Structure 1
Amino acid sequence: MIFFVWIPFLVPFLAVPAARRLAEALPPRPAAWLLAVAATGLAACSTAALGLLALAGALRLPFFASLENLVAPLDALPAWLAFPAAATAAGLFAVAGTALVRTARRQFAELRAARRQLAPGTGELAVLRDPSPDAYALPGRPGRIVVTTGMLRALDPAEREALFAHERGHLVGRHHLFLAAAELAAHCHPALRALRDPLAYALERSADEYAAGAVGDRKLAARAIGRAALASRAVAAPGRPRAVLAAAAGPVPRRVAALLDRRPAPRLPRGRGARLIAAVVLGCLCVSAASAIEAAADLHGGIETAQGETGHR
């Protein structure tokens, strides 16, 4: 355990840059999946490693050792390392857990507050009487496309349809779950914070492509997104939850340029470099998971040995 338990903490520093590089070469939807899976997988492994360290140290204390009926000292970690590592891991685990709970509660509270602002009804479109131009996809049952009267006045009818299609793309793709996963994963390991912005961009690009396909005109979709961004100045209205996605968010000029590029959507590039990056990302996920599992198995074997059982490693 002394070796394997540290690997999930180190792997993200290599996996995150590789995942970001690979996501740039993928179409928006696969890129979003790649970044979300990498973030949640690496976060889960590093969090499990924290828990194993904390447990290994706790089981050296008489009270916890008695609960597990340990008749000999647990040798999963050296004595000089067990208590400092366990105390640090327990502290980090508590900080991450507190941040996770606070973030989840804040997001739910903001979503509930946003829903209370809407008029009763089950229609997809909800119009707010607000002169500030804004539009966003509000998840829920059912999901709603929220748009202010200020935004409606800023766009012509065709551009409105493109904007609605963009927000509908967020709802259909359940993009809020991807964004929430990245936000929560960022609290589990500092390196994973670097995946939030690329993931948000991939989700916006995915909705852009959905809108372009829905209206059948890439130029119209690009114009609608550009005008919506200029009207809102990319500043969220007071009622917009931070956990939702909006057409005017993110690097709009880059998104507009991508929509106006009529070349086919990028595919996974060929060549040794691309294959190497993909292998690094996959290898990092596998190594991190395998290391966490191996550390857990070693700790389990150490507990059985300390309990006086035989026949276990």
Structure 2
Amino acid sequence: MHLAVYLPLLLPVLAGVGAGPLARRLEPRSATWLLTVAGLILAASSTVVLGLLALAGLVRVPLIAALKGYSPGVIARDDPATWQAAVAGAVLLALAASATARLTVRRAGALWSAALEAACLPGRESVVVTEDRHADAYTMPGLPGRIVISHGMLDALDPAGHDIILAHERAHLDNHHYAFVTLAQIAAAANPLLRPLAASVAFTVERWADEYAARHTGDRRAVAETVARAAVAAKRTRSPPAAALGVLGRRPAPGVIPRRVAALLEPAPRSPYHLLVAVGALVAVSGVCVLEAAHDLHEFLELAHIHRR
């Protein structure tokens, strides 16, 4: 295999480094879609390359070569991957598959639990107000999904803030933001180099909801102030993490709230065309390298099979 076929294993490094700047510069809805899709494609590409390396090593086993009718001489002479690379690929593939399966099962269980809890909440309205004195507001996916707001949060905000927080949570619910975060986390489980990208998706869905609230109210500064007040109230009352927040991700990392507030105090963001092209090119290169690796391995196995006859 050519050296270029190993690029899908390294390109996620660039994606991880660039995810943060992209999340800050792109329009949040576009950034969420772009980063999530790119993460899934890059994770799939790196996984396929690991599988191809493992397969190239598997045919080195004499029993398997004999069963498949491959020429031992051709395999020994022309194998496109070294045995060290093949073993490393097999080990990394097993680890990636195991991590992805565990996370997928855990996420599916969390979503199911949240859906059941949402169905058991009182009333038929999409918004549920709890008596909790801790300041909290979150969305619970389900059929139907529910928006949960505590009395503590309502007490911390003025009526305009109530409208803003509802618009923010409505954006999470209507646009299924939990799905984007979950898919990005699955991609990061398959390739840990994509963890910064998954963290950026968790940030962009919040920014997406912020921008939705800003368009809904027509006052970006008011949304910024509400985000800051809600964060201060939640910290002051030390509200425990809600079950639905576990579906969407962890509590905001340090610095996320100030970045959201700062972004809302700036004009509405746009998506520079050249950044979209750059991400598309990165994903395209990864895909081409995977196709090249698969083609090389196919030709090698065909040659080994022909020479066996």
SS in 1 for 2:243: coil
Contact 1:136 1:245 in 2 (8 A): no
Contact 1:122 1:142 in 2 (8 A): no
Amino acid at match of 2:30: P
Contact 1:72 1:308 in 2 (8 A): no
Structure 1, unmatched stretches of 5+, are 270-274
Q: Compute the displacement of 1:79 (Å).
A: 6.0
2:33 maps to 1:37: no
Q: Map of 1:249-260 to 2, 5 A cutoff?
A: 249=252, 251-260=256-265
Contact 1:15 1:280 in 2 (8 A): no
Q: Compute the displacement of 1:183 (Å).
A: 0.9
Greater CA deviation, 12-21 or 194-203? Answer: 12-21
For the structure 1 residues 93 and 128, does the alpha-carbon distance in structure 2 shift closer, same or farther, using more than 3 Å as the test?
A: farther
Distance 1:84 1:59 in 2: 14
Count matched residues: 302
Q: TM-score, normalised by structure 2?
A: 0.85
Contact 1:56 1:299 in 2 (8 A): yes
For the structure 1 residues 285 and 182, does the alpha-carbon distance in structure 2 shift closer, same or farther, using more than 3 Å as the test?
A: same
Which of 183, 199, 223 is 1:181 aligned to? Answer: 183
2:14 maps to 1:14: yes
Contact 2:16 2:193 in 1 (8 A): yes
Contact 2:228 2:261 in 1 (8 A): yes
2:269 maps to 1:268: no
Contact 2:135 2:150 in 1 (8 A): yes
Q: Compute the displacement of 1:278 (Å).
A: 5.2
The share of aligned pairs that are identical, in percent, is: 40
2:309 maps to 1:307: no
Contact 1:29 1:202 in 2 (8 A): yes
Q: Compute the displacement of 1:26 (Å).
A: 1.7
Structure 2, unmatched stretches of 5+, are none
Partner of 1:24: 24
Amino acid at match of 1:225: V
Amino acid at match of 1:143: G
SS in 2 for 1:137: strand
Q: TM-score, normalised by structure 1?
A: 0.84
Q: What are the superposed Cα offsets for residues 26-48 of structure 1, whole Å, 9 maximum, x if unpaired? A: 21111222222221121111111
Contact 1:41 1:285 in 2 (8 A): yes
Amino acid at match of 1:17: V
Amino acid at match of 1:281: V
Q: Map of 1:143-292 to 2, 5 A cutoff?
A: 143-233=145-235, 236-244=240-248, 249=252, 251-261=256-266, 263-268=267-272, 275=274, 280-292=278-290
SS in 2 for 1:187: helix
